[in-house]
Chain A
């Protein structure tokens, strides 16, 4: 069940009215939201609801044992066990095929060819998100930065809550568990912001991302040799806009849906193409993942405490694993290596110039954006050959085939969003919250109608569902 569908709209209306009718009974409300979340998840594959429940029970149990234990050594073993179990679940479903294939290749090269047990493992949607959530919960309880949940119900709802279940943001226990502890409160401002984010997300996904994907990006990435430099450049810029509009749209709609149900999620995107350095880009892009990688990977590796070279190595390891998190393929690892390598160069540069600013902001923004676009070629191409064909095509002149004024307009709109006031939706919500319900209802309805009239029939799954 995708957000921008009629089925989800009907599902949400039912959840909204039923959950608020239970607002005086927080426990029952949470049970209802949990059942609704399982129903939502079962629309992809009902068998994986069991995996979700198993994962929740494991994380709740390990965290409860950690919280009840005062022995530091035992606590360490327990947290290691919790992290390991989560990684095993993720590793089996997401990386089993990848590692077996690599192992078979390696054995063939050294002359020990063997028939390895290849399995067609179906990837449960959103597994990367809910396992990372589980790891953060167990580690936070171990670090005593989060109190253990009051009940198994809270942990289950934390890991299954449908707005953020399949593609994030990766919401930590410290953000959501305190909100589960009491009956939520819905304010006019939160509701207005929620509606605005849903409309805005719908526009980004169904109009901008879908059009660019179907009519520009997919044809060019399918066969770059059939297109000239302008089409290939437009497809690369188009993909930069598409992936931003696709993923940030999901986050916006998730945050908006959460707000209408009375829960607030942290921001996941902050105009990332305005970044003037790669380090800044990762403070603006998929913030919940980058902060997760910082707190649970970079810092445990030693962070920046042991000097420049050690911190550079840690950044590189973090970004390589971050790349692998996105998908079980070497192109994703190369994408992570590019981002990590540029961040290392930036660190060395800052150290060499004593932290002085030597590159003007405009130049920094342009250079960073183009390095990010280069990374998107690796991210989008299924093989290195295809990525190389895209790069080669940038030097080949040819007539414009798929780049139309409309496509260019969408790219300009997608990039122009980054130069809107940074908190435009929040500011608009503050102004509109005083409007009568009829006025706001008609305004939001007209905005929905505008988007619905423009969108193509049908909707493609969100890009980040595969991760």
Chain B
């Protein structure tokens, strides 16, 4: 019987036992649940204890490899980005190519400075070519102190020896 008209008819259970299904947590425990959230299929149910009695190694289940705990946590915190689009890939390839070309140019500038010197000496003298020649001379002096002209010289000397080789009894060219 109710003392007041607005009292509920049924007394409130102080310790309820029947709860509705709670919503999925946004922060599940690390482990199997994390792996399933990260998009990795969970392993099938455990096989019976005698499952391998007559099994061949080739028949073993090839379930998807589960990522490690830390990797799963990492994937949870920092999900892998979606695949890059065409434009991003193209820009990446262009940058890579440009780096290769710049490295080649720098390499040649250091180890093949003699070519610039030779080129400048072959040009008709004018303000530009004389300036280039002077800069090239200074540059060659600097890089030769570091020994950067040695590889080119070494190859060239070996090559010249090969060029000058003659058959037995053959006169010089």
Smallest CB–CB gap between B135 and chain A, Å? Answer: 13
Q: Does B139 count as interface, using CB distance less than 8 angstroms?
A: no
Q: Is the CB of B104 within 8 A of A188?
A: no
Q: Is the CB of B97 within 8 A of A442?
A: no
Residues from chain A with a CB closer than 8 A to the CB of B122 are 457-458
Once A6-B119, A404-B165, A452-B152 are accepted as A-B contacts, the answer to whether A191 and B100 lie under 8 Å apart by CB is: yes
Q: Is the CB of A20 within 8 A of B165?
A: no
Q: Is the CB of B155 within 8 A of A450?
A: yes
Q: Does B103 count as interface, using CB distance less than 8 angstroms?
A: yes
Q: Is the CB of B98 within 8 A of A405?
A: no
Once A6-B115, A453-B155 are accepted as A-B contacts, the answer to whether A445 and B107 lie under 8 Å apart by CB is: yes
Q: Does A181 count as interface, using CB distance less than 8 angstroms?
A: no
Most interface-central of B99, B115, B152, B165 (chain A CB within 10 A): B115
* Residue of chain B at shortest CB distance from A17: B98
Q: Is the CB of A215 within 8 A of B173?
A: yes
Q: How far is the CA of A6 from the CA of B108 in the complex (A)?
A: 11
Q: Does A438 count as interface, using CB distance less than 8 angstroms?
A: yes
Q: How far is the CA of A454 from the CA of B159 in the complex (A)?
A: 6
Once A23-B94, A406-B165 are accepted as A-B contacts, the answer to whether A437 and B173 lie under 8 Å apart by CB is: no
Residues from chain B with a CB closer than 8 A to the CB of A401 are 171, 173
Query: Residues 23-43 of chain A: 1 if any B CB is under 8 Å from the residue's CB, otherwise 0?
Result: 100000000000000000000
Q: Does B144 count as interface, using CB distance less than 8 angstroms?
A: no
Interface size class of A (residues with CB under 8 A): 35 or more
* Residue of chain B at shortest CB distance from A446: B107
Once A188-B96, A191-B97, A453-B152 are accepted as A-B contacts, the answer to whether A6 and B116 lie under 8 Å apart by CB is: yes
Residues from chain B with a CB closer than 8 A to the CB of A454 are 155-156, 159
Residues from chain A with a CB closer than 8 A to the CB of B107 are 441-442, 445-446, 448-449
Q: Does B58 count as interface, using CB distance less than 8 angstroms?
A: no
Smallest CB–CB gap between A228 and chain B, Å? Answer: 12
Q: Is the CB of B152 within 8 A of A449?
A: yes
Q: Does B130 count as interface, using CB distance less than 8 angstroms?
A: no
Residues from chain B with a CB closer than 8 A to the CB of A354 are none
Q: How far is the CA of A440 from the CA of B93 in the complex (A)?
A: 13
Most interface-central of B94, B111, B118 (chain A CB within 10 A): B94
Q: How far is the CA of A97 from the CA of B112 in the complex (A)?
A: 45
Q: How far is the CA of A428 from the CA of B139 in the complex (A)?
A: 35
Residues from chain A with a CB closer than 8 A to the CB of B105 are 13
Q: Is the CB of A445 within 8 A of B111?
A: yes
Q: Is the CB of B104 within 8 A of A405?
A: no
Query: Residues 441-467 of chain A: 1 if any B CB is under 8 Å from the residue's CB, otherwise 0?
Result: 110111011101110011000000000
Most interface-central of A211, A399, A452 (chain B CB within 10 A): A452
Smallest CB–CB gap between B154 and chain A, Å? Answer: 8
Given contacts A188-B93, A446-B107, A448-B112, 4 further A-B contacts (CB under 8 A): A7-B119, A13-B101, A404-B163, A444-B104
Q: Offer 14 A-B interface pairs, CB within 8 angstroms, sorted by A.
A: A6-B115, A7-B119, A13-B101, A185-B90, A188-B96, A401-B173, A404-B163, A405-B162, A405-B165, A441-B99, A445-B111, A449-B151, A449-B152, A453-B112
**A-B CB proximity, top 5 nearest:** A441-B103, A445-B107, A453-B155, A437-B99, A191-B97
